[in-house]
Structure 1
């Protein structure tokens, strides 16, 4: 099986890195994000989690994606400005990626093998689908887009992984 931590990524600012370097041995909530989606206000709750739990070894990692209704049309600079100015985002963001289809980013190739609470794996359904990844790179849980970042099941899974 592919080690998620070794997979290459490009940051929103264009730097080459790996999942492991961005996650830095932290419990990580991976989210495909978009600036013009009805679920975009989830950025506020994602940033609140980052603020509250980063001191315990947690981070959010956002992957901008334009595959769902063209809801992330901006350049890297526009995405960075929107996230910072509108939601005060401090967690790391990657360059824009595809999460489904032939051009699917390798990270999402691994993540989408993980089933959700109903046992369903496969393609990402929409923006703001979430995956909880342990410090060891193991995918611990999958939460569908409408599950809020502060939902009890998400918080329970994060706290268990941080324990």
Structure 2
């Protein structure tokens, strides 16, 4: 039967950027082959098929929409533009802080790549450190990117 809104599904997936770089997957062998396990500090047990309800907002909109009409056992490659994934990069979500204020808030010296958790629940990454300012980007790390997913429907419930 064809997948409809409200159906439970289980899929395997490989997420890539348009240049072919793999950024996420449900398959341990793919993660290992592309160095994700080492880069993310994960092992085989951290990779598993993904189960969710189509249309319930449990996954990015572009995958939700692409699954409608697919069938169990079917495979597809889909392109998901930013507006159907994590949105466009919003310059308003990039903030600057005085270095001393930043260190007092975070409890660590600022350095590019440092991941921070703000008191308001936002997560961000330090993108630049200058003598007069620390720049923190609170956009999702995949914001502004078109994503390509190879998906396989394992089960429809």
The one of the two structures with greater contact order (alpha-carbon pairs below 8 A, sep at least 6) is 2
Indicate the TM-score class for this superposition, using the shorter chain for normalisation: under 0.3
Higher strand share: 2
Higher helix share: 1
Structure number with larger C-alpha Rg:
2
Q: Give TM-score scaled by structure 2 length.
A: 0.21
